[in-house]
């Protein structure tokens, strides 16, 4: 939904039907929609019985000339969905589609039923008084797709589902009215925190309306797969791979492992593993559908005396407890949810030598400050290992790039790490950083707000580090731990005829650059900054020339990869400073020099501001370009404003009529699926 700039009512698009009404749009991408006239593979035809399909309402003897609301409800219950097409109602009530359509039209005329047209898709019908019907929790299961839709879930239901299912999407705007789409994936079953499959199935049954043999059978099979291979340390010190049976060793391990992965067979079910190939063994068997239990006896190195000095929130305590049980995992949560503090609590709990890997020197310095602020660690026990300093200490903070280099690798390999922490864990799958994942430690911890990569390599992240641990974003928004941002896509027109013509005659990457650098965006940025004069603002760009132009026009500093590290650190420090405000940037003054101690209200930043840089007082984010980037990048930029208190505003500028429109919608759709409200506005010509 879009609106003209001056007439837009932000509440105008706030009316949402329950989640299943949006089911068609949500499942079109996978081709699994049940809303059409043609049954899918998971929707039995009239003459195909299924143990997963409820018994249809008994058909009447004759075609109904009128349809009661109760009979319509029966058809919906049989469909296991709160809406239906005319053909679905006809099938459930044993009549023709034309008769059902006429009967539904009569219900619409009486005001008992509403209809929804979804462009070229079939018209769907749902009860007008759905609000009253949906005041209680409704759980709708699609067992063969292993998906669960829940309207108005209780905290109990959400807590149970989070143990064995992945939150895919949410709809709605107001807390307490949202619908949730969960999917049970094999990796969720593998990582479920239960002692046996029976306990997992009991938890599943506690939230579903009835038993589903097909789904439960699949879950039991996946549980067995997760406990078929085990790595352990032999009493003589070498690593052994044990399979649950001789056939598994012969038919799975031998077929999926290379000859250099195993040194020699020990028995029909055990083999001596090449220690340098442990990571490859785990990855190969994971890809074959058999996650490996890693029970090796690994040293934790010298003890590290660290105590946490900050109280954990309840969900952070759960993260740490879950991690200690598994000895590996990835803390997943929105910016501001306290992943770093939870990681420091984990370091204290493990109590062994720790290596923290980060993507940049700025993050290395920031980690040192966080450790000192939230724990009793001795400053002398913290070492920084990057391009500027080379220190190995009980807690060492290094960049991925340095740790992966051959000339430094042997040093890191020689240490007995009790814990390796991978900050911004999505980096671990990139070729230049992937060698760091082979470093061995007793515990492996990842941190990421959005581990999604456009290559679809989330599973590889979890293979190399551990399974996801975390609360869903929407739960943290509702509990008030993190401020939900207000996100608005603003479609900016071309106001410069020369720029418009240049764009029209260009193609490829040049066209994308011209759309990103639309001169009208500078005036739009100036307008937004003036409208929010009291807020600390970050302006994100992709192209350096555009960043310099915006910074010059606004009279504010520009931070990019070309900015010297000492200058970058000083600018970030002054942005975090809430002392005397500088007038630069809001009135077009030239940027003041680094010699002054004035606070900075506005920074223009390139991709160096996307990840991890702690700017806790950022209240306003304006994305001027970079819309061709990943969904993860969009979430990271929006996340710069997400903190426990205060307002959080994100404006995404997209040139109207260009590919930026689609890119913006794709990036923000990723946030919308996490419960963040996104609205769209057409900026006036």
Domains of the chain by range and CATH?
A: 12-186 (1.10.10.10), 229-290 (3.30.70), 314-473 (3.40.50.300), 486-682 (3.40.50.300)
- pLDDT for 54 beyond 50: no
| pLDDT tens-digit map of 229-240 | 988 888 888 889
Are 316 and 341 in contact by the 8 Å Cβ rule? The answer is yes
pTM: 0.56
| pLDDT tens-digit map of 368-406 | 999 999 999 999 999 998 876 788 899 999 988 887 676
**Using CA atoms, how far apart are residues 415 and 170, in angstroms rounded to an integer?**
44
If one compares 611 and 70, the residue with the highest pLDDT of the two is 70
Q: Which two tokens stand for residue 43?
A: 């929707």
**Using CA atoms, how far apart are residues 584 and 666, in angstroms rounded to an integer?**
34
- pLDDT for 169 beyond 80: no
Highest mean pLDDT among 238-247, 338-347, 506-515 belongs to: 338-347
Q: What pLDDT is recorded for position 70?
A: 81
Are 341 and 380 in contact by the 8 Å Cβ rule? The answer is no
If one compares 1 and 299, the residue with the highest pLDDT of the two is 299
Q: What percent of the chain has pLDDT over 90?
A: 18
Q: Which two tokens stand for residue 653?
A: 């500028």
Residue 564 CB neighbours (<10 A): 8
Q: What would the mean pLDDT of 580-608 be, rounded to a whole number? A: 60
- pLDDT for 59 beyond 60: no
400: nearest Cα among 368, 429, 443, 441: 429
Confidence of residue 349 (pLDDT cuts 50, 70, 90): very high
- pLDDT for 425 beyond 90: no
- pLDDT for 52 beyond 70: no
- pLDDT for 78 beyond 90: no
**Using CA atoms, how far apart are residues 493 and 297, in angstroms rounded to an integer?**
62
- Give the mean pLDDT of the chain: 76
Q: What pLDDT is recorded for position 575?
A: 86
User: To 10 degrees, what angle do helices 361-374 and 565-576 make?
Assistant: 40
Q: What pLDDT is recorded for position 380?
A: 92
DSSP reduced 3-state for 480? coil
| pLDDT tens-digit map of 646-667 | 557 889 899 998 888 888 877 6
Instruction: Show the DSSP H helices in 191-306 as ranges.
Output: 197-205, 213-225, 246-248, 254-256, 278-287
- pLDDT for 334 beyond 80: no
Confidence of residue 435 (pLDDT cuts 50, 70, 90): low
Q: What are phi and psi of 364, to 5 degrees?
A: -60, -45
Confidence of residue 597 (pLDDT cuts 50, 70, 90): low
Q: What would the mean pLDDT of 428-432 be, rounded to a whole number? A: 60
**Using CA atoms, how far apart are residues 554 and 448, in angstroms rounded to an integer?**
33
**Using CA atoms, how far apart are residues 565 and 299, in angstroms rounded to an integer?**
36
Gyration radius (Cα) of the chain, Å: 28
**What are the CB-based long-range contacts (under 8 Å, 24+) for 584-587?**
584/555, 584/556, 585/529, 585/554, 585/555, 585/556, 586/529, 586/530, 586/533, 586/554, 587/555
- pLDDT for 439 beyond 80: no
- Indicate the range of 313-322, 450-459, 530-539 predicted with least confidence: 450-459
Q: What would the mean pLDDT of 212-225 be, rounded to a whole number? A: 92
- Indicate the range of 227-236, 286-295, 384-393, 459-468 predicted with least confidence: 459-468
DSSP assigned state of 301: -
Beta strands 270-273; 239-243: pairing state: antiparallel
Q: What pLDDT is recorded for position 626?
A: 74
- pLDDT for 614 beyond 70: no
Are 436 and 404 in contact by the 8 Å Cβ rule? The answer is yes
Q: What would the mean pLDDT of 156-176 be, rounded to a whole number? A: 71
Are 160 and 128 in contact by the 8 Å Cβ rule? The answer is no
- Indicate the range of 329-333, 346-350, 377-381 predicted with least confidence: 329-333
DSSP reduced 3-state for 352? coil
| pLDDT tens-digit map of 100-139 | 888 898 888 888 888 877 555 578 888 876 645 545 678 8
Q: What pLDDT is recorded for position 23?
A: 35
Beta strands 441-448; 602-605: pairing state: unpaired
- pLDDT for 596 beyond 80: no
Residue 541 CB neighbours (<10 A): 27
Q: What are phi and psi of 350, to 5 degrees?
A: -70, -45
**Using CA atoms, how far apart are residues 355 and 441, in angstroms rounded to an integer?**
9
């Amino acid at each position: 939904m879009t609106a003209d700039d001056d007439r837009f009512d932000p509440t105008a698009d706030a009316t949402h039907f329950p989640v299943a009404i949006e089911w068609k749009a949500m499942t079109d991408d996978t081709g699994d929609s049940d809303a059409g006239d043609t049954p899918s593979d998971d929707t039995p035809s009239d003459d195909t019985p299924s143990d997963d399909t409820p018994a249809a309402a008994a058909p009447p003897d004759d075609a109904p000339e009128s349809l009661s609301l109760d009979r319509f409800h029966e058809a919906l219950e049989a469909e296991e969905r709160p809406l239906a097409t005319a053909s679905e109602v006809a099938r459930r009530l044993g009549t023709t589609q034309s008769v059902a359509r006429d009967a539904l039209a009569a219900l619409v005329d009486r005001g008992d039923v509403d209809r929804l047209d979804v462009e070229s898709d079939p018209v769907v019908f749902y009860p007008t008084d759905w609000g009253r019907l949906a005041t209680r929790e409704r759980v709708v299961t699609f067992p063969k797709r292993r998906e669960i839709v829940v309207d108005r879930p209780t905290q109990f239901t959400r807590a149970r589902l989070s143990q064995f299912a992945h939150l895919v999407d949410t709809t709605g705007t107001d807390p307490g009215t949202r619908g949730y789409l969960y999917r049970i994936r094999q990796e969720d079953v593998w990582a479920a925190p239960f002692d046996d499959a029976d306990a997992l199935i009991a938890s599943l049954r506690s939230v579903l309306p009835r038993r589903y043999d097909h789904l439960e059978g699949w879950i039991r099979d996946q549980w067995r797969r997760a406990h078929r291979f085990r790595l352990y340390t032999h009493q003589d010190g070498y690593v052994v791979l044990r399979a649950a049976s001789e056939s598994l060793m012969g038919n799975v391990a031998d077929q999926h492992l290379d000859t250099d992965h195993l040194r020699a067979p020990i028995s029909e079910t055990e083999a001596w593993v090449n220690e340098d190939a442990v990571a490859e063994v785990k990855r190969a068997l994971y890809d074959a559908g058999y996650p490996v239990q890693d029970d090796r006896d690994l040293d934790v190195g010298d003890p590290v005396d660290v105590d946490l000095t900050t109280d954990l929130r309840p969900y952070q305590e759960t993260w740490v407890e879950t991690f200690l049980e598994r000895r590996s995992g990835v803390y997943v949560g929105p910016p501001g949810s306290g992943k770093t503090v939870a990681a420091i609590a984990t370091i204290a709990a493990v109590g062994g030598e720790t290596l923290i890997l980060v993507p940049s020197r700025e993050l290395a310095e920031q980690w040192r400050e966080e450790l000192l602020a939230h724990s009793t660690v001795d400053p002398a026990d913290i070492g920084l290992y990057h391009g500027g300093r080379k220190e190995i200490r009980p807690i060492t903070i290094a960049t991925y790039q340095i740790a992966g280099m051959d000339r430094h690798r042997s040093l890191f390999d020689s240490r007995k790490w009790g814990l390796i922490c991978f900050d911004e864990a999505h980096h671990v799958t990139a070729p230049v950083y992937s060698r760091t994942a082979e470093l061995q430690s007793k515990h492996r911890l990842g941190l990421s707000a959005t581990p999604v990569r456009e290559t679809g390599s989330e599973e590889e992240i979890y293979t190399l580090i551990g399974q996801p641990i975390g609360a869903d974003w929407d739960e943290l928004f509702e509990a008030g731990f993190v401020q939900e941002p207000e996100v608005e896509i603003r479609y900016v027109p071309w106001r410069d005829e020369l720029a418009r013509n240049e764009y029209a005659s260009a193609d490829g990457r040049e066209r994308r650059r011209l759309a990103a650098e639309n001169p009208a965006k500078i005036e739009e940025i100036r307008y937004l900054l003036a409208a929010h004069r009291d807020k600390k603002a970050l302006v994100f760009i992709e192209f350096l020339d555009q960043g310099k132009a915006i910074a010059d026009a606004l009279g504010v500093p520009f931070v990019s990869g070309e900015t010297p590290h000492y200058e970058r650190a000083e600018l970030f420090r002054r942005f975090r400073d809430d002392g005397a405000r500088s007038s630069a940037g809001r009135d077009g003054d030239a940027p003041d020099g680094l010699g002054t101690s004035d606070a900075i209200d506005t920074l223009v930043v390139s991709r160096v501001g996307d990840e991890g840089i702690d700017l806790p007082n950022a209240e306003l984010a304006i994305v001027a370009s970079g819309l061709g980037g990943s969904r993860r990048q969009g979430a990271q930029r929006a996340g710069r404003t997400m903190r426990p208190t205060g307002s959080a505003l994100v404006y995404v500028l997209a040139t109207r009529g260009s590919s930026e429109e689609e890119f913006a919608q794709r990036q923000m759709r990723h946030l919308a699926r996490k419960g963040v409200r996104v609205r769209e506005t057409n900026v006036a010509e």
